[in-house]
Amino acid sequence: MQETQYVKGKFVALEGDRVVAEVMRQINPDVVAAYPITPQTEVVQTFSEFVADGRVDTEFIAVESEHAAMSACIGASAAGARALTATCGAGLALMWEMLWCASGLRCPIAMAVVNRSLSAPLNILTDQTDMMGARDTGWIQIYAENHQEVYDNAIQAVRIAEHPDVVLPVMHGLAGFVLGHTLGRVEMLPDEVVKEFVGSYKPRYSLLDIEHPTTFGAYDHWDYFFEHKRQQWEGMNCALKVIAEVGEEYGKLTGRHYGLVEPYMLEDAEVAIVIIGSAAGAVRVAADQMRAQGVKAGMLKIRCFRPFPPSAVAGALKDKKAIAVMDRSSCFGAEGNPVFIEVCSSLFQRGIRAKVVDYTYGLGGRDTVPGEFCQVYRDLLQVVQTGVAEPVFRYLGLRDF
Amino acid sequence: MAQKGWKEISLAGLVADPGNSVAYETGTWRAFRPVIDFDKCTHCMFCWIYCPDGTIMVEDSKVLGVDLKHCKGCGICATECPRKAIIMVEEAKAQRG
Ligand code: SF4
Ligand code: SF4
């Protein structure tokens, strides 16, 4: 049998923000409109150097705010351009109104979000409050665990967004500071391989196509607005398939396969932690440590939060005796935080009556270490032993809870 | 106009056939109807310039009347007419004649 040949890349040590900027350079998009904000600043700063040094042909628009950044990207996308940007935390919040316009106008913009908390109290460190807050804006959301995934997701985001069955904007999250500002090992593909993988953008409609004049953003009354929202649902539904296909194609090229979720030691696990993002690394270590002690511990990492993959999640968790869902954002007053709600709904709709608890963790940049995840596994063993999943809402790493 | 389902309509409500607003009869919105007194009208074309819906019908530099399928009854023409030749009549009354 012939051995599979993967494209050979170059191994580099880069900060997560620089990884994003390097991918943007490799893609060489038509337009980048962005505003710097900690901890995303290095993305914009590095990319603007590429522009100044003539290493890309991109029209770089130094805008006056994130609202303007997203507006400019929407305008560029409507004009038929491939538009990329990056932001985080308060910057994403300031884009709010325009996030809905980007998805509603079906502008396939790709945006890195260097996940940061939202003030007050003033905090610039990592959690997922920013992107979780934007979960209903009609954007596809994928998250990275490590530097390599930051790189790989940034490339795949463009393909996912522009797929003719999807045509929706994509935000790809990476933990601020933890990934954004730390050095990590990344295998970078040759520029031409990235260019070929993303291909050229062929917009279906373009404002600049004067042969076919098109109006974007016309008023939509009660008689058709609802139907256009239904179209967005279709794009999201199709995205579930497309994200997996693009991840598979990328895997054939690089040897790094991507799907909607990623199990770790989960097959025979009795107790499972469900998590999104960079802290999955610490959960892997905790699972290994618990396994060494004879506990059947496993993890389900969710890569794609929008669209949420309910069948993949429920299928992976259906026979687990107790499940802890980790939420790095706080949905005050809700019957559970965002990830917990989705996981529970996925299980319930498939008739799976599992014991599930919700842990809020890591808010405002608080580190969560493997030992704490070991404690979560021990808590789950307790749930299994007593048969009682109470309290359902828990805090990890909080004093005096 | 028969209403279409989501599969038959343009993506995101983009309008790819320019000028199709003619097919949308904004006249149904009208609560007041502009009525032109041709004894006063000097055909100065102010109403034609100001009408946001292009519904003042003109031929050979003469105002002929109002396209009631599209006149939404905003009353701008009546306000702008320098001869006060246009009055806004309640639509229900106008229809009763
Ligand atoms: S503005 Fe008045 S006077 Fe002038 S054309 Fe119109 S109706 Fe006639
Ligand atoms: S009422 Fe308004 S829409 Fe109707 S003719 Fe006058 S200006 Fe035009």
What's the pLDDT tens digit per position in A327-336? 999 999 999 9
Confidence of residue A1 (pLDDT cuts 50, 70, 90): low
Contacts of A226 (CB under 8 A, 6+ apart): none
Host domain of residue B74: 25-96
Q: Do B13 and A220 touch (CB under 8 A)?
A: yes
**Angle value at C-alpha A215, between A214 and A218, nearest 5 degrees:** 155
Map residue A171 onto helix, strand or coil: strand
> What pLDDT digit, counting tens, does each position of B39-67 carry?
999 999 999 999 999 999 999 999 999 99
Q: Look at residues A148, A76, A128, A65 and name the one whose alpha carbon lies nearest to residue A107.
A: A76
The residue to mutate among B58, B60, B61, B86, having the most atoms of ligand 1 within 8 angstroms of its beta carbon, is: B86
Number of domains in chain B: 1
Task: Give the largest Cα separation in chain B, rounded.
Answer: 53
- The rounded distance, in Å, linking the Cα atoms of A331 and A162 is 31
Confidence of residue A400 (pLDDT cuts 50, 70, 90): confident
The residue to mutate among B38, B39, B44, B88, having the most atoms of ligand 1 within 8 angstroms of its beta carbon, is: B44
Q: Is B4 on the interface with A (CB under 8 A)?
A: yes
Kindly state whether residue B8 falls inside one of the protein's structural domains.
Answer: no
CATH number, domain A10-201+221-254: 3.40.50.970
Mean pLDDT of chain A: 97
Q: Which residue of A has its CA nearest to B16?
A: A214
From the CB of residue B47, how many other CB atoms can be counted at a distance below 10 Å?
Answer: 26
Contact by Cβ (8 Å): A296, A164:
no
Domain boundaries, chain A: 10-201+221-254, 261-396
Location of structure tokens 């991918």: A23
Q: Give kind and range of the element (H or E) at residue B88.
A: strand B86-90
Looking from the CA of A400 toward its CB, the CA atoms found within 13 Å total 0
Q: What is the pLDDT of residue A2?
A: 61
The architecture (CATH level 2) of A261-396 comes to 3-Layer(aba) Sandwich (3.40)
Straight-line distance from the first to the last Cα atom of chain A, in angstroms, rounded to the nearest whole number? 58
Q: What is the pLDDT of residue A110?
A: 98
Q: Look at residues A112, A116, A110 and name the one whose alpha carbon lies nearest to residue A149.
A: A112
- The rounded distance, in Å, linking the Cα atoms of A195 and A29 is 10
Kindly state whether residue B4 falls inside one of the protein's structural domains.
Answer: no
Q: Is the CB of B85 under 6 A from ligand 2?
A: no
Q: Do B15 and A231 touch (CB under 8 A)?
A: no
At residue A356, does pLDDT exceed 60? yes
Q: What is the pLDDT of residue A382?
A: 98
Identical fold, A10-201+221-254 and A261-396: yes
Kindly state whether residue B20 falls inside one of the protein's structural domains.
Answer: no
Q: Is A224 on the interface with B (CB under 8 A)?
A: yes
We report the CATH number of the domain holding residue B60 as 3.30.70.20
According to DSSP, the residues that pair with A262 across neighbouring strands are A301
According to DSSP, the residues that pair with A188 across neighbouring strands are A10
At residue B1, does pLDDT exceed 70? no
Mean pLDDT value across residues A30-38: 97
The bridge status of strand A393-396 relative to strand A261-264 is unpaired
Contact by Cβ (8 Å): B66, B56:
yes
| Number of helices followed by number of strands (H, E) in chain A | 13, 15
Q: Report the separation in Å between the CA atom of B88 and the middle of ligand 2, taken as the mean of its atom positions.
A: 10
CA A378, A384, A388, A390 dihedral sign is positive
Q: Do A205 and B16 touch (CB under 8 A)?
A: yes
Which atom of ligand 1 has the smallest separation from the CA of B44? 4
pTM score: 0.90
Q: Do B13 and A234 touch (CB under 8 A)?
A: no
Q: What amino acid is encoded at A219 in this protein?
A: Y
Kindly state whether residue B11 falls inside one of the protein's structural domains.
Answer: no
Q: Give kind and range of the element (H or E) at residue A395.
A: strand A393-396
- The rounded distance, in Å, linking the Cα atoms of B25 and A355 is 58
Token digits of residue A103: 């998805």
Confidence of residue A390 (pLDDT cuts 50, 70, 90): very high
At residue A286, does pLDDT exceed 70? yes
